[in-house]
Structure 1
Amino acid sequence: MSQWWLWSFVVIASGAVLWIVRWIREPKGVPVTAHLLAAVILIWSAIWHAVMALGGAHITTGHHEVHWGYYADWIVTAPLLGYALVLTGTHALTGKRTDLVVLIAVTSVSMVLSGLVGDLALEPTPRYLAYGVGVLALAANFVVIWGPLRLAAARQPAQMVAHFIPLAGLLSVLWLGFTLAWLLGPSGLGVLDDPTTTAVFVVLSVLMKVVWSVLDLRRLRLLADRDHLQVG
């Protein structure tokens, strides 16, 4: 059953990539970079889901199986999703916030690495200590998104602000969802078994990497082109 869920993501992500490639031919004022970023996120994630569906990218620890393929996926896609959010939050501004990209990348990578360390830990104390560090990294991520990035986004025209707020909210909720799924799954409390955790991770991945990315690009394409929206 786990393989079915993993392959389902591969199929859905592949379809989304083809749709984005179609959009690239007519970007409608949205930078091609933003389209390519979404495509790279989907392709990278689909590769690792396919590897796991074929039985790879996992090891057995003392108490459960560690699917390290998830972390190989997340270590790249988490900071790239943050980068995509920064691009949207500064879409209509002339000055880009490289500092925010770096901050979100650092907090995202720290969050993922903490999850991997906790997953590999054989004893509860280091496992939940690593989980706590990951939660702090997530909290720091939220501070960046809802602090300086939100303030930067507020300098944009009203229609861009109206797009950014729910987009940032959805990404925040989905990141929190992954954190809770990890805690409830075999890596944490064991409330969810491995197949159920796989299904939850796939559903969250579809929402985060397919639905979120497509909604972002589609809305940007419906708004005025970049020059029209630029406010400085």
Structure 2
Amino acid sequence: MVDLPVRSVFAVGAALMGLGALYFAVRGLDAEGPRSRGLHVVTALVPTIAFGSYLAMALGVGVAEVPVRGGTLEVHWARYADWLFTTPLLLIALGLLVGADTETVFGAVAADAFMIVTGIAATLSGVRLYRYAWWGVSTVAFLLVLYYVFVALGRRARELGEATRETYGVLRGLVGVTWAGYPVWWLVGTAGVGLVPPPMEVLGFTFLDLVAKVGFGTVLLRSRAVADATDASGSDPSSGVSVD
């Protein structure tokens, strides 16, 4: 049973995600060109999915109790369902921004999906040793995701103009810092060593989600002028390099 303070955090998270989704949707109404529209759709869709997840948890849905040695562990599985959809979308947005090839984006999304699935396995494992083992596998997959973000997609970003490079650099740093916070927070939380009590754990994950989703979208929309010009000319306006 989810207690009132935790539900309150979920409710605040739902409200902020909903406001972010509405803001991004309105910003995208007059987007020009397929790439610009794609960026706006993805940007609005991410917090929309998160809004549904947080609303469900605020209403007591999307929560399960997993039997572990010595008792039970409360698992907010709706959060993992959220991540399974939203994190690939964030990587797709990065790919759209730099005009990455399909193979690179697919590789990043596949590594990300494996990271989330193994993270779910870690959380649902009733044996502590198994939880840590799955956490390790998920963390290795996360390092592979970082490879795609910092190396593979980053290489493509360096071929483009200054405006796109700067925007991608900020987004890359945001993803690297916030996404790294998830496995660390999991490890110190209730599913890990238990140093952080449940209300604080929920607050921490909510903060990370807001930065990783709404913060990401806010920064991404700064590239709208670049995306619009790219759609119109077929090249990055500040470099002349084709992104098709």
Asked if TM exceeds 0.5, the reply is yes
Offset from partner CA, 1:105-151 (integer Å, 9 cap, x none): 11111111111111111112111110000000000011111112111
The equivalent residue for 1:66 is 75
The equivalent residue for 1:20 is 24
Structure 2: how far apart are the matches of 1:73 and 1:18?
18
- The total of aligned residue pairs comes to 226
The equivalent residue for 2:223 is 220
- Of the three residues 77, 83, 92, the one matched with 2:86 is 77
Offset from partner CA, 1:30-72 (integer Å, 9 cap, x none): 6211111111111111101111110111111224111111111
1:150-165 equivalent positions in 2, closer than 5 A: 150-165=154-169
- Of the three residues 4, 7, 22, the one matched with 1:3 is 7
Structure 2: how far apart are the matches of 1:198 and 1:100?
33
1:28–1:221 contact (8 Å) kept in structure 2 = no
2:21–2:46 contact (8 Å) kept in structure 1 = no
The equivalent residue for 2:55 is 50
1:207 matched to 2:211? The reply is yes
The equivalent residue for 1:175 is 179
Structure 2: how far apart are the matches of 1:172 and 1:88?
17
1:10–1:47 contact (8 Å) kept in structure 2 = yes
In the TM superposition, residue 221 of structure 1 has moved relative to its aligned partner by 2.2
Identity percentage of aligned residues: 24
> SS of the residue aligned with 2:62?
coil
Higher relative contact order (CA 8 A, sep 6+): 1
In the TM superposition, residue 222 of structure 1 has moved relative to its aligned partner by 4.3
Counterpart amino acid of residue 64 in structure 1: L
Unpaired runs of at least 5, structure 2 = none
Larger deviation, residues 15-24 vs 129-138: 15-24
TM-score between the two structures when normalised by the length of structure 2: 0.88
Structure 2: how far apart are the matches of 1:48 and 1:11?
11
Counterpart amino acid of residue 43 in structure 1: T
The equivalent residue for 1:93 is none
2:167–2:219 contact (8 Å) kept in structure 1 = no
In the TM superposition, residue 28 of structure 1 has moved relative to its aligned partner by 5.4
Counterpart amino acid of residue 82 in structure 2: D
Structure 1: how far apart are the matches of 2:170 and 2:152?
16
The equivalent residue for 1:146 is 150
In the TM superposition, residue 25 of structure 1 has moved relative to its aligned partner by 2.1
Unpaired runs of at least 5, structure 1 = 91-95
